[in-house]
Structures are given as structure tokens and as C-alpha cells.
Amino acid sequence: MFKINENYLKLPGSYLFSAIAKKVAAYEEANPDRQVIRLGIGDVTLPIAPAIVEAIHKAADEMGQARTFHGYAPDLGYAFLRETIVEKDYRLWGCHVEADEIFISDGAKSDCGNIQEIFSEDSRIAVCDPVYPVYVDSNVMAGRTGSYDPATGMWSNVIYMPCTAQNHFVPELPQETPDLIYLCVPNNPTGTTLTRDQLKVWVDYANRAGAVILYDAAYEAYISEEDVPHSIFEIEGARTCAIEFRSFSKKAGFTGVRLGFTVVPKDLKCGDVMLHSLWARRHGTKFNGAPYIEQRAGEAVYSEEGSRQVMEQVAYYKRNAMVIYEGLKEAGHTVFGGINSPYIWLKVEDGMDSWEFFDYLLEQANVVGTPGSGFGPSGEGYFRLTAFGTYENTVEAVKRIKALRR
């Protein structure tokens, strides 16, 4: 009789977004005359920019002609895209990354989730709390996290690094030594960042401790402030301790197109084994390349027209973020994030917890957000609003939230 991977049974139900959907549906059914505004989603809403659509059309036509047809893509991705990425995302920022250190993929979620496979089963992971759930859940499936305590919402074999207003959302170096450290900068869900100096502390620590930093830079395009690094490879020493994940999803609206990449520097080694070789082997065995059409779409993100159009979209969302951030501040709320990120992280007050505030906002302002406790125990008492709605809805939502405070 076959057996299943019992680790899957340890996963608590992914309750957050289904619980939100249920509550919103019930409210809308009971109050059909109300216009509910959704600022809970982590998905973009603007359509793909014209220069990119044009590249997609062109690539699709190429696929229809024997002379220009493309079959399996090279394992690591097409050189035209990898070289463009090296030039525009790294050399221009003064980072040393080579084209053959870039692995093109179908998105950052798969890579963040799969990377743990190349590490030993007994690796100890450290995560920020609150956190993007993929890092922990993928390690649960692999059997690394020990047992789950529903009372605390924590795993016995995971090192949690609380990030709250108290430590200005800067994780402190852990007391126990981890093997793998997940960092997401700018952060989902808190919208906060690390400065170069703060990230240098982590790079030095990882090199000293013999740990690897798994650096998720999915929101890099939203960085406004000068002292926030766009890549961990801006930091001296990162080539011997860090892997970086990038995504076209939040930058260019590719959530439905699917394209991302991972940088594994060749200087990152365990003894004389390069992690690069392991990831190349894994990629070649379990992934058959991102589609040609998508890789041409990715290339167009960096063209003169494409990058201008994409940055206009990012600017649109960032304007929404400022509307939320400034509006809530004016209303007397304590707010974080929003400046280098499409996420605003709000401190819940008046003795409410995250879910009570969710209900209050839904019922009193007809605005939907995400309870912070859904991202980890240290998210309790906070609430996430996203800038991915329309400008008009964002302005209206903020107006309603402000009115509650009068």
C-alpha cells in the first residue's frame, strides 16, 4: 500500500484568503446596496503594457513559422534575456553578477519554494515574522520544521525573527544559528525595508555563521529611497552567502504571464561544491524552461518604451500607496510601509485584534484588507492594505476610513 508524504498533513489549512472571501461574500449578500472596495489582494490590476503586448504578438508570430519557431528553451533561459538582466538589473547598479549565474524561471514563488531542495534535510531555517507563507510551508512539506503548535501558530524547528514597530521592522540576529535565512526586502506583508547598512549586518553574519541568505526581491521596482538596496549583490560579501529571487509579476504585471529569475553566484559554495551546480541540476531535471514568448515579453520590460511604460504602472500603484499612507496618517492611524512598497501596514488600535478590525472595516467602511495575524503571530495587531486597486477606489476607500475617525 502506498504511503503519502505525511508532512503535507501537518500544514494548517490555508485559511486566510478563503476566510476573507467568505466573510466578504456573506456581507455583500446581506447588504447588496453597498459598494465594497477590495484592498486586500496581492495581485496587480493594470493590463500588460503595450510595448510588452507587442513583443508577445511578435514572438507568437515567430512560433507560427518554421524558420523562427522555438522548441525547448535553453535550461537556464535565453541569452538575450539573461544578458539584458545582467546589464540593466545588476551592472547598472554596480553589482557583479554574470549572465550564467541567472536562472530564468516561471516566477519567484516556484523558486522560493523549490530552493530548499538543494539543502540538507536537517537544515535549520530562520524567517521573519510576519512572513510570506511560501518559505515556511515549502520547508514543512520537506519535513524540516518540526511540529506545529496551533496555540502559538509556530513550528518547533523554525527560528522566528519578530518584525514589529518595536524593532522598526528590522529583524534581529537570531540567538540560535540558522542554516538558511529567508529575507524579503521590500517586505510583504509589512511594506518595510532594510537599508544597505542593515543588510550588510546580515551578509556579514551569514558569512560568519556559514548560513545562506535566501533573498526575495520581488518588490524591488517599488523602491524609492536612496539607501535601500535594489539587490543583495550591492552588498560586499553577498556573493559567498546569498541567492536572490526576482519576479516580473509586481513590476510588470506578469502575475498571469509567469516569469522570474534566480541568481546563484558561483562563489557560493559548501566545501568545494557550488550551489550553482546543484540548482542547475535541479533546474535541468525538474523544469523545462520558461516559454520563448514569455522570455521575449521579459526582454521587452527592459526596452526603452517597455521600461517607461512599466515604471508608469509602478508609479500609479505607488501613488495609490501614498494616498493610503498619507490619508490614514491624517486620520490619526499609525502606518508603516508604502514608501518602497505597494503595501501599507497599519497598527490596529482601540483594543481590537486583526480580525476584529477586519470586520469593523468591512462593516463600517465597506473596505476589505488583510488581517496581519494571517501572516504570522507577530502580525497580530496589524492590518495590510494594498495599493493594487484603482486610483478612484483607493481614494474612496481612504475617504471612508477617514470618516470613521470623526
Ligand X SMILES: *Cc1c(COP(=O)(O)O)cnc(C)c1O
Q: Is 109 among the residues that bind ligand X (CB under 6 A)?
A: yes
Cell of 134: 511560501
CA proximity to 227, closest of 339, 353, 379: 339
Cβ proximity to ligand X: between 286 and 405 the closer is: 286
CB distance 209 to 126 below 8 Å? no
Q: Least separation, in Å, of the C-beta of 289 and ligand X? A: 16
Q: Is 370 among the residues that bind ligand X (CB under 6 A)?
A: no
Distance between CA atoms of 399 and 39, rounded to whole angstroms? 14
Stretch that binds ligand X, among 56-64, 83-91, 197-205, 242-250 (CB under 6 A): 242-250
Cβ proximity to ligand X: between 218 and 293 the closer is: 218
Distance between CA atoms of 389 and 385, rounded to whole angstroms? 10
Q: Least separation, in Å, of the C-beta of 189 and ligand X? A: 8
Cβ proximity to ligand X: between 110 and 145 the closer is: 110
For ligand X, the binding residue among 40, 191, 229, 260 (CB under 6 A) is 260
Q: Least separation, in Å, of the C-beta of 185 and ligand X? A: 10
Q: 139 pairs with which residues across the strands?
A: none
- Give the E-state strand segments of 293-360 in sequence order: 335-337, 343-347
User: Footprint of ligand X on residues 170-209 (CB under 6 A)?
Assistant: 184, 188
Instruction: Answer yes or no: is 281 a known binding residue.
Output: no
Cβ proximity to ligand X: between 306 and 327 the closer is: 306
Angle at 70 between CA 69 and CA 75, to 5 degrees: 175
For ligand X, the binding residue among 216, 220, 244, 380 (CB under 6 A) is 216
Q: Least separation, in Å, of the C-beta of 255 and ligand X? A: 5
Instruction: Answer yes or no: is 18 a known binding residue.
Output: no
Cβ proximity to ligand X: between 86 and 112 the closer is: 112
Distance between CA atoms of 63 and 297, rounded to whole angstroms? 14
Q: Least separation, in Å, of the C-beta of 198 and ligand X? A: 18
Distance between CA atoms of 254 and 106, rounded to whole angstroms? 10
For ligand X, the binding residue among 78, 90, 103, 132 (CB under 6 A) is 132
Q: Is 255 among the residues that bind ligand X (CB under 6 A)?
A: yes
SS3 318: helix
Stretch that binds ligand X, among 85-93, 108-116, 227-235, 318-326 (CB under 6 A): 108-116
User: Footprint of ligand X on residues 6-45 (CB under 6 A)?
Assistant: 42
C-alpha atoms less than 13 angstroms from C-alpha of 215 in its C-beta half-sphere: 30
Q: Is 247 among the residues that bind ligand X (CB under 6 A)?
A: yes
CB distance 361 to 379 below 8 Å? no
- Calculate the CA dihedral of residues 230, 235, 239, 241 and round it to 10 degrees: -100
Phi, psi (rounded to 5 degrees) for 11: -65, 125
Instruction: Answer yes or no: is 252 a known binding residue.
Output: no
Quick check: bond before 171 cis, omega within 30? Answer: no
Cβ proximity to ligand X: between 366 and 378 the closer is: 378
Stretch that binds ligand X, among 78-86, 101-109, 207-215, 294-302 (CB under 6 A): 101-109
Which residues neighbour 209 within 8 Å (Cβ) at sequence distance 6 or greater? 177, 178
Instruction: Answer yes or no: is 72 a known binding residue.
Output: yes
Stretch that binds ligand X, among 81-89, 102-110, 164-172, 281-289 (CB under 6 A): 102-110
Quick check: bond before 189 cis, omega within 30? Answer: yes
Cell of 253: 504585471
Instruction: Answer yes or no: is 269 a known binding residue.
Output: no
Instruction: Answer yes or no: is 108 a known binding residue.
Output: yes
DSSP 390: -
Which residue is nearest to ligand X, using beta carbons? 107
173 CB-contact burial (10 Å; exposed 0-12 / middle 13-18 / buried 19+): middle
Cβ proximity to ligand X: between 86 and 183 the closer is: 183
Mask for 313-342, x = binds ligand X (CB under 6 A): ------------------------------
Distance between CA atoms of 356 and 349, rounded to whole angstroms? 10
Cell of 131: 512572513
For ligand X, the binding residue among 116, 190, 249, 262 (CB under 6 A) is 249
Per CB under 6 A, residues contacting ligand X are 42, 107-109, 112, 132, 184, 188, 216, 218, 247, 249-250, 255, 260
